[in-house]
Amino acid sequence: LQVLGFEVDTVNSVQFSNHTGYAHWKGQVLNSDELHELYEGLKLNKVNQYDYVLTGYTRDTSFLAMVVDIVQELKQQNPNLVYVCDPVMGDKWNGEGSMYVPKDLLPVYRDKVVPVADIITPNQFEAELLTGRKIYTEKDALEVMDMLHAMGPETVVITSSDLQAPLGNDYLIALGSHRKTKADGTRITQRIRMESPKVDAVFVGTGDLFAAMLLAWTHKHPNNLKVACEKTVSAMQHVLQRTIKSAKVQAGEGNKPNSAQLELRMVQSKKDIENPEIIVKATVL
């Protein structure tokens, strides 16, 4: 976000030695009282003036509930504030979904967080959890996105799925939907599909990167989800391709890269994040 020109006040929902893709990690989880204390400091200095709020990984229900309170207060101050929520709960491996946060986060996300969000970026598994509906086809996915729109957010992007891609099995499908209500009350919905080449590795932090870049590109292209997603997904591809290429060199021929070698090459990809060459085109549905 800073590379793309945003002033950012960062609150670490967790302070870990490393991400949880490693065998071991140590650190602390921020609770709601500690978040409230930080926010009070911002308020006392009258610097709690924001255009966007972006949230991602957390493991604490009270923390999430406090986020909702803060977002609602900030929206009272600035009705144009946009809340971007990456509802990090789990993912699918080999077709099976599993949660990697406590299960009691789901009702908080579903009933409290998503209704105040403007943009959400779930993966397929998280979209299924939030709606209670399984996705087997693209039609299912579009209906699930409609259900998520009905819960509150104007923009829904399913960042990854195991749907069959028209380009073939070597591609991963992401879907986006932007619903806008015109002044006369009528609704316009723009829907898109993106097909990205699959990369045979497990990366950690891709969801965080996706949500941050989508925030930036929707800010720069507020009524054009197609362009915003093309820039976001193309930049993601540049980062992932650079990461896997470098990781394979570090691991050596015939060896599988480890977690440390698969750390996203963010700094090395600065130019691609700032001005991505469009290598993934979106199809308007």
- Residues marked as catalytic: 208
Three-state secondary-structure class, residue 72: helix
Backbone angles phi, psi at 111, to 5 degrees: -95, -25
Cα 194 to chain centroid, rounded: 15
Which residues have a Cβ under 8 Å from the Cβ of 188 and sit 6 or more positions away? 179, 180, 182
Eight-class DSSP state of 67: H
* Burial of 42 per CB tally in 10 Å (0-12, 13-18, 19+): middle
Of the candidates 273, 71, 274, which has an alpha carbon nearest to the alpha carbon of residue 153?
71
Distance of alpha carbon 268 from alpha carbon 271, whole angstroms = 8
Of the candidates 13, 103, 16, which has an alpha carbon nearest to the alpha carbon of residue 58?
13
